[in-house]
Amino acid sequence: MLKFILVGIANTIFGMGIMFLFYNFFHFNYWISSASNYIFGSILSYFLNKYFTFQNNSKGFKVILKFTINITICYLVAYGLAKPLTVMAMASFGPNIQNNIAMLAGSIFFVVLNYVGQRFWAFKD
């Protein structure tokens, strides 16, 4: 768990930096900005978690496919829930604030779901 947390901190800094940069600086929309976080962050996460956190020595396409499926499902569930919940809870705020808070909430949901998926399915021998 400690290794997953350390890798998560590195991934969070890297991925959230990309996400908020894309949304606030390049003005990409919510879905493109948050997806970019997980596309770039997942590449880093795959290698760090496979070899450092879970020390998985599996070869071949199967582990990559399981990892990709896990990331995709976690992303869709986390950000799919975060956006409408944040819009409802923060109806009096503007869309820019709502989207920034939704992206932050989505990343928190994602971390929990992703750990469970990687630990008990994607990298389980």
Model pLDDT for residues 51-76, shown as the tens digit of each residue: 888 888 877 889 889 999 999 999 99
pLDDT in tens, 10-21: 988 998 899 999
CB atoms within 10 A of CB 7: 19
Buried b (16+ CB within 10 A) or exposed e, 79-101: beebbeebeeeeeeeeeeebbbb
Output the pLDDT for position 78. Answer: 96
Instruction: Round the average pLDDT of the chain to a whole number and report it.
Output: 90
pLDDT band with cut points at 50, 70 and 90 for residue 77? very high
Give the global pTM: 0.76
